[in-house]
Every structure is written in C-alpha cells, then in structure tokens.
Chains A and B, each alone.
Chain A
C-alpha cells in the first residue's frame, strides 16, 4: 500500500514539475531577457544564464520616462477601484441576501449580461460619457470604469459569501439594539472579511493590468498609468526586447508580491463564497 502511494506520489510530482516548467518558463525568460545587454538579445544560440548580466535595460526605462509617476497613478487608480468595488459589492450583496433574496440570482445574471459585450465596443461610449461628465484625464474616470468591470464577479462572490452567514446573526445583533447599518458594518462585514479580501485582490488585478481604458481616457502623460507608460516605450520602428521585458517585470512585480502576501485569503474566500452560492 505504501509503495503504491509513494509511486503515485512520485508520478504526481512529475506532473507538477512538468506543469511548473511550462507555467514558469516564460517568466524566467522574461527576467533573463531583461538583464541582457542589447547586443546579446539576438545571440545565436540564445544565452540562458548570461555572464554579462546588466541592469542597462532597467536604467534606460527608468530614466527615459517618469516610471515612478506612472506607478503612483496605477496605485491610486487600482486602490480607488478596489475600494469602490468592495463597497458597492458589499452593499449590494447585503441588500440582496437580506432583503431581496429572490432577486439575487437574477441580479447576478443581469451583471453577467453587461459583461458580454466585447470591450472594443465600449471604448467610444465610455470616452463620450467621461467627456460629458467632465472626467476625462482624471483618476476617477478609470476608477469608475474598473469598478464596473469587477462588479459582476465581486457581487457574485459576495452574495455567495453573505448567504453563508446565517440570518440568526443579524437577528441577534438587532435584538441587541443595533440598527441595520450597524449590523452591516460592525457585525456582518468583519465576518465577511475573506470575501472582501478576495474581491479586493480581484479588482486590484483588473485595474492594475488594464491598458485600453487608461490609454483612451487619459491624455496627459502625467496621468498615465504603468501599463500605458510602458507601452509607449515600444515604438514599432524600434523595439528592444530587453527593455520591453524589463518593463514587463516592473509592471508585474507589484501584483505578484501582493498576491504572494494575501494568497491565503484568496483560497479561503473563494471556498466560502463562490462555492456555496
């Protein structure tokens, strides 16, 4: 029995290692290329572990453009979208599960419906909308846009989550004299923290990685987010792969770090929220 188990384990580990290689090799190559000097990019055979590793590409990028500014913009917009998304979704989820239970599923379906149109179609109307609202070139425009993208999944997740919190808790709080608002804020929300974290991470990811919306809705380069600022470093007539990869590293590292830190919450949250829906 034990031998079968360990043989099976070995096989499983083999599968994992193969899958790991396929999954992670592109990242390794991204890092590898980003550290190469320009003359080595097209070397034949390509170098896997260069002896000429240099930070040239990073230096060029960081000096050519105000990457710090882009980073800050990305951060503001992503955090703003996260806050808005969590707030709206939590309010909506609570409202539906406590007061309009029958309409909850229908609402989720409606939200899903709004996501079925391809992004390209929405670019121009969004621009017009933000233009009319006088929000062009502001952080708020992007915050609003990104929150709207994250809503369907966030609401679905939190509705599932709130459903798993028994009504008895609400009633107990009411009996203790809490108002509806206090019940929501002081009692239920803390219980829903894993779900909120999941929604926050998810929204942050969408906001941080989004490109097309920031491209269209901002014109002032001081408002550019990281993804746009980096894309601008790519001219069609001149693409340095090492610089491009360095830019990709800079853009991806923050999200990776965030997820590594909060990963535990993510699985718990999805477990409790999405699965029981």
Chain B
C-alpha cells in the first residue's frame, strides 16, 4: 500500500512539471528590433530572461519601422496584439489597446520605482494611469563635425550658445557644395521634433498648457523661431537643398558624407554616422541646443514598454518588462546602441561616464520635455498636419504666417475633437 502511495505521489510530482512545461509564449513587438545596432543586445536580453524564467518564452516580432503601427493596430483590432509592445503610448492608450499598469507598478519595491523620475513617468501616463514603463530615450542636441568646424576657422572649444551665435557659425560653415545644417521637411514626425526644438529654444510654445490649443502662429516667439529656422533653406541659405524630402535618414547621410557640418539629432545618430563613415569616429562633438532663453528645454523622445490589453499573460509580460528595464540593459543599450537610459541611477555608471558624448547627452536630458506630446491625436498631428505646414512654408516662404495660422486652427480643432 505504501509503495503504491509513494508511486502515486511520485508520478503526480512528475506530471506537474510536465504540465508546467507548456511554456507561456509572449510576443514582443517594437520597431527597434530591426535596428542592426540593437540586435545583439535584444537577443541576449531574451536569452538571459528565458534562462532565468523557464516557463516563459519571448517571441520577437520583427517589423519594418514604417509598418510597425499598421501591424500593431490590425492585430489589436482583432484582439490579437503582441503582449509586449512599444508604441505611441497616448494614442494607443486612448484607443484602448493598452493595459493600465498601476497595479504592477505599485506592487514593486520603492528601490525599483525610484529609479524613474516623476517627469519621465508622467510621459507614460494617460489620464493619470500608467500605460508603459519608459525604457529608453533620445535627447536632441547639436552634433558638430569637428573637422569642418576647424576648416571654417571656428573654435570647437567655444561652440555657439545662443541662436544668433549659431547663425553666425552657420554662415561660416556654408560653402560650395557643403552647408551648415539640413532643414528637416520630410513627411515623418522627425520634422516636427526638430521644429519643436527651435520653437522651445526661442522661448516659444507651440501649444497651451493642457494641449487644447495650438499656438504655432499665435505665440510670437514661436512664429519668429519658425520663420528663422525655415528661412535657412532657400537659394542662399545655410541649409542643404531639398528640405522637403529630408528626413532623419537623409540628414544623417548628409552628415556622414561631410555635406553638412551640424546635425540636430539624438545620440543614436552618431552610431549610424560612424557606421556609414568610420572616418568620423571620434571626430564629432555635441553641445546643448543653442537657445535664446536660459534653461530652454530640449526634446527627449521616450520609448516605453507596454502591455497590450488583449494579452493573456500580463503577469509574465510585466516580468519581462521589468527585466528589460534593468540597469544592465540600459547601460548596454546606451553604450552599444547609443540609446539613452531613462533610469536616474545609471548616470554614474563607469561605462557611461567613459563616453563623454553620452555623458553630455545625459546631462542635456535633465532639461528635456518628453515626446511624443501627450494627446491621442498626436501621431496624426505630428506626421500629417504639422509636416504639411512645414512643407508648404518651405515651398512658399512668403505665406508662412498664413500657413501657420491655418495650422493653429486645424490642429486646435483636432485637439478638441476627441
């Protein structure tokens, strides 16, 4: 009898792991999985997580960046979205595609939660609820090509601090077949990002405090900044030609090929430039964006990991998100892929301080506003309306005032039409 009993218990004990061996499969989709700089890192992240959590398997969903949102939405509409996603947070939350994470967040120990500042977390909240854990970001600064600067007779140790100084530098940096900068006017939201940095650097505001009104033209400092920036393009300007087809990609190409001397971009662009043109390694320096007001905010693109509302295993998903947000990976991403860490406890990590440019960007991040701006219609406004206005103004500069007044009206209507 005892032997039978023992055998029963033993077989049950063996059966339990057999059942538990059905792994939970979590799909993970973020547009960055296809970035070649990031690939070695995420592969190791997954490997180490799976080793530490035998019941969970992470399945990366590789999507080209431009199709990332389309694929996500198609799946979300059929309630089959990947469990772990990095998407435009406010839009996705508004549309009901994401799970509120407060219950997970509040259950975490204070030591963990304190690594994120209130501001950073605010960028992942919608209507007070937390919808994502900010994982990495990109702070926009001004990156210079040291050799071109020296060649123009300028001193790299004394970079421009105000907009006027920048313009003076710009004139010297422009010559035959090379220019000071590229004005971004292509049909992606990077156009909007750079435009915002110019507006903010001049002390202007593009929106009112609670995002119910657009003030591109209404705010005189904003309009002045827009006109100055867009005015760089044009026949005798200091900007490279063809601004209406210049996106992030074209800008970094121009910079890598020594066609433009400065690039307003985030640190990740440096890795891309070096990949294109290894001769530029170590030949660049970065400064905060030249501004006319003290402590002008720059722009920090924040990417957060979220859980989709149709996820069947949110607990497991949260485990992975926590793991991925750990110090180790933040540092690695910063060092290898040049993506800014968002935890405030990594700034003094030796790997980070060893890279002066990275340290500079981290410091710039202390005066940054998070992007995307928190409104459900932001993706639409940023990639369609604002870009259209920029393109129209680039093609008909004399109508700039009118164009941006119309933009104010159009965008205000969209902001209120929820």
Contacts and interface: CB of A to CB of B under 8 A. Distances in A.
A127 B74 contact: yes
A215 B75 contact: no
A42 interface: yes
Contacts, number: 76
B294 interface: no
A39 B36 CA distance: 17
Given A127-B74, A127-B75, A235-B35, A42 B65 contact: no
Contacts of A127: 74-75, 77-78, 80
B34 A131 contact: no
Interface residues of A, number: 26
Contacts of A12: none
Contacts of A224: 62
A38 interface: yes
Tell which of A128, A234, A237 has the most Cβ of chain B within 10 Å: A237
Nearest to A43: B257
B62 A238 contact: no
B70 A237 contact: no
B23 interface: no
A123 B34 contact: no
A128 B78 CA distance: 5
Interface in B60-115: 60-67, 70-71, 73-75, 77-78, 80, 82
B166 to A, nearest CB: 25
A68 B36 CA distance: 20
B246 to A, nearest CB: 14
A42 B61 contact: no
B245 interface: no
B71 A131 contact: no
Contact of B80 (A64, A123, A131): A131
B59 interface: yes
Contacts of B322: none
Given A216-B70, A219-B27, A237 B62 contact: no
A83 B74 CA distance: 28
Contact of B275 (A124, A136, A238): A238
B77 A232 contact: no
A239 B277 CA distance: 13
A123 B73 CA distance: 10
A221 to B, nearest CB: 5
A236 B77 contact: no
Given A136-B80, A233-B34, A220 B59 contact: yes
A131 B74 CA distance: 11
Contacts of B59: 220
A237 B61 contact: no
B272 A238 contact: yes
A233 B63 CA distance: 9
A235 B36 contact: yes
Interface in A245-259: none
Interface in A179-237: 215-216, 219-221, 224, 231-237
A235 B269 CA distance: 13
A219 B63 CA distance: 9
Contacts of B60: 221
B64 A231 contact: yes
Given A123-B70, A136-B80, A239-B249, A234 B64 contact: yes
Contact of A131 (B78, B82, B248): B78
Contacts of B35: 235, 237-238
A216 B248 contact: no
A131 B81 CA distance: 11
A124 B77 contact: yes
Interface in B270-284: 272, 275-277
B68 to A, nearest CB: 9
A221 B33 CA distance: 12
B276 A38 contact: yes
B63 A215 contact: yes
Nearest to B38: A235
Contacts of B188: 236
A219 B67 CA distance: 13
Given A42-B253, A216-B71, A219-B27, A232 B63 contact: yes
Given A236-B66, A238-B37, A42 B257 contact: yes
Tell which of A38, A234, A235 has the most Cβ of chain B within 10 Å: A235
Interface string B33-46: 01111000000000
A119 B249 CA distance: 28
B200 interface: no
Nearest to B61: A219
Contacts of A219: 27, 61, 75, 82
B78 A232 contact: no
B404 interface: no
A79 B223 CA distance: 58
B126 interface: no
B300 to A, nearest CB: 16
Contacts of B61: 219, 221
A237 B74 contact: no
A195 to B, nearest CB: 36
A38 B61 CA distance: 28
Interface string B4-45: 000000000000000000000001000110111100000000
Contacts of B37: 238
Contacts of A236: 31, 65-66, 188, 248-249
Contacts of B249: 236-237, 239
A44 B64 CA distance: 29
B268 interface: yes
Contact of B67 (A220, A231, A239): A231
A232 B31 CA distance: 9
B36 A128 contact: no
7 contacts: A38-B276, A44-B257, A127-B75, A127-B78, A216-B70, A231-B64, A235-B34
Given A131-B78, A232-B34, A238-B272, 9 more contacts: A39-B277, A42-B257, A44-B257, A215-B63, A216-B70, A216-B74, A235-B36, A235-B64, A237-B269
9 shortest A-B CB distances, which residue pairs? A236-B65, A235-B35, A231-B64, A131-B78, A232-B62, A216-B74, A127-B74, A128-B78, A235-B34
Interface of B: 27, 31-32, 34-37, 59-67, 70-71, 73-75, 77-78, 80, 82, 188, 248-249, 253, 256-257, 268-269, 272, 275-277
